[in-house]
Amino acid sequence: MLSANVEVFILDSFFANRTMSGSKLSHQDRKDLEKFTRFLIYKSLQIIVQSRLGEKIKTKSKPHNSGADWFNLAIKDIPDVHAETKKALSGQQSLLSQNVCVEISLKTSEGDTMILETWYIGLNSDICDTSARVSYTVYNRMGIALKSLFSVSRVTPAYKLSRRQGQCSEDYVICYKIYLGDPQFYMLGEGYQQAKVGNVPTPVGTISINVAYRTKLLITPQKTCKEVLFDVKDDHFKKDNSPKRPTTPKPCSLGYRR
């Protein structure tokens, strides 16, 4: 089980907000950094959601990679997750001007839910690496961060729950929801843990991938979420921190059936 403290970053605009170091980037470097960051976000959300499908995965090594194999990761994108990510990011003037969050929840056959974890990708524009080459150093750092995310996503308690989907007398399904804004830690109950998955220093700031997860999983095959001891809020999100474009959680596994 992970145990680490993570600073919750207050994000500034990533590309629109020009810092002293960011202004030194050439037009091509800035364009490449924006493209790499976009694919980092898309691949991160794919890794997180696919880790909650409830199945083990095996990927064969490829002797020759293609242009579609971003960051040398042989991960086939799920179209629905790609569409949800695109929908969440639409309308944002600059990438990572807000946290990009993925909320993982458990939904019982009776329709009750419990939030299990929140993954969030953000930017600290105060910590820059002005000497990093965008087309080589930053790109490789992003690949390393994604490999760390792939491993950590299969260590938290929600992974074990996802592996048991459909095996209990009271069936449940693991769902995901993508939104922009502040992570809603208060929905994870008392004693939740936070961990830093990876950092990517860039000339305009440091991109961070983090997770906060519930530790008190008081649910058994004989109990529904109505009997689980956790605080129920009238409003899932606080008024001042409500995410932009809130959506309904969707099952991670499209093949799930009652």
Model pLDDT for residues 22-57, shown as the tens digit of each residue? 457 899 999 999 999 999 999 999 999 999 998 877
**Is the pLDDT assigned to residue 170 strictly greater than 90?**
no
pLDDT value of residue 17: 40
Beta bridge partners of 178: 102
Residue 254 pLDDT level (bands cut at 50, 70, 90): low
pLDDT value of residue 67: 60
The 8-class DSSP code of residue 77 comes to P
* CB-based contact 183:122 (threshold 8 Å): no
pLDDT value of residue 65: 63
Order across the sheet with 113-124: list the strands: 193-202, 205-213, 113-124, 100-108, 172-180, 250-251
State the greatest distance between any 2 C-alpha atoms of the chain, in Å, as a whole number: 60
User: Range with the lowest mean pLDDT among 12-26, 104-118, 147-161?
Assistant: 12-26
**Is the pLDDT assigned to residue 75 strictly greater than 80?**
yes
Helix and strand numbers, DSSP H then E, in the chain: 4, 6
User: Range with the lowest mean pLDDT among 121-130, 147-156, 211-220?
Assistant: 211-220
**Is the pLDDT assigned to residue 233 strictly greater than 60?**
no
**Is the pLDDT assigned to residue 178 strictly greater than 90?**
yes
pLDDT value of residue 171: 81
The pairing of beta strand 113-124 with beta strand 100-108: antiparallel
pLDDT value of residue 246: 55
Average pLDDT, the chain: 78
Mean pLDDT of 69-92: 87
pLDDT value of residue 229: 37
Cα separation, 85 vs 93, whole angstroms: 15
Residue 7 pLDDT level (bands cut at 50, 70, 90): very low
Quick: pLDDT tens for 89-139: 986 778 888 999 999 999 988 888 899 999 999 999 999 999 999 999 999
Cα separation, 121 vs 135, whole angstroms: 21
